[in-house]
Structure 1
């Protein structure tokens, strides 16, 4: 005998990530559920009291740490619109035939959409900065919300925060520089592994994994998309999922409790009573 679907759902909501045994009878099953649910409720209550004491949630601490790392590395922070035009997506080769296209939130009655990524905006900013700056290397980053119609699960949100950083200019060895940046950014958080993966937009990315979870995807340019933006210099870029990184650092099974929510705050389930 197994837990009922509602019992399983409730334990997942409260943060259960352990294995669930088979039960000989209903009484044994319900005793396990009640004992486990009580334990998880108490854990949520303890974390809630800790949040009240500390005031600063874990996702904010991760954001601050990321920002400070990039400031120290010489990156300038920018902010760009969350509502973008189709032309920016077209320059990223995201048309109706793209797998990503159906995940985009279109704004009804307007030829606009909510940005599914930060990259097109940073391409534009790179172009503007390169016209004005006398520096041999331009370094920019943005930390902001993106929006996609995701199917849910432990690793996806419909509204999520990304930090995208890009360095462009006189970079003699882009692979070496990307390795340096990855080390500088992620070593302060945890041990990590790097592996190459296929990408819908970039064809191939260098992904950063912590505890078997992808927390960042990185790209090296020149890239075939660059000509759409009149970019012709070497560059390296990193895209970091803030909620994913927070979830891994906090050791939680799902990213959902760290997203924008009414019922979750800082990974804590609030409807525990």
Structure 2
């Protein structure tokens, strides 16, 4: 018998008064995937997360979590969440809050292992009010994991973390994914999505406009950039396939739709010191997809 997907969203529509936040969105995520939910502010990402958690009533559509309704899944400890504006009770110790939350689940993550996994060793006796921004995020992660949920939803989870904290956090996420957990996260740090996500889902105007691996999504943007050191008077705009030229000090960056043709012309015209050729980044691809306003998903993965 085939097990149900970790998350199965069909025709999800969310309205706030006259505002359409999510527009008939479909999304299926099998168990064990790490999925980045990307898009501009107001794209509908947080509304999708809130609908999955049962925090709002959609105008239409359905949400299934491992074959359960959101309310049943939350009660059974099937889903853990780390929300963008998650709070902690004041005038309490971290260990007290964690113990209270763990007691509410039928299955509990063993405390010693949970402390190590969430990276909160040494914080259990600390007052919640004395935590730094990064430490609060780690404690919120521990609370999200307290019931050993097979599905983990993260909304901007590293927003208050420094570079070292972000790196440690995603090492933890990769370990959870390797252990079979499904991780779905919304982020504006596209370098994080590029580094850790098995799959990228781009949302614009409440719809999925791209769905695939990071390589598949980046491949939607044609063209490359060529960077090198050049004299200020070197004319480059008329070279074959060049669509734009930017100068930063002595470095020139040329956008081209045909890197081979542009490089041949550049080499014929002189040397190319400090040459670098690169394809589109995930940020380039997401910005392009949002700006072109696709209404049908590209490269859908099931």
TMscore range, shorter length: under 0.3
> TM-score, normalising length from structure 2?
0.23
> TM-score, normalising length from structure 1?
0.25
Higher share in helix: 1
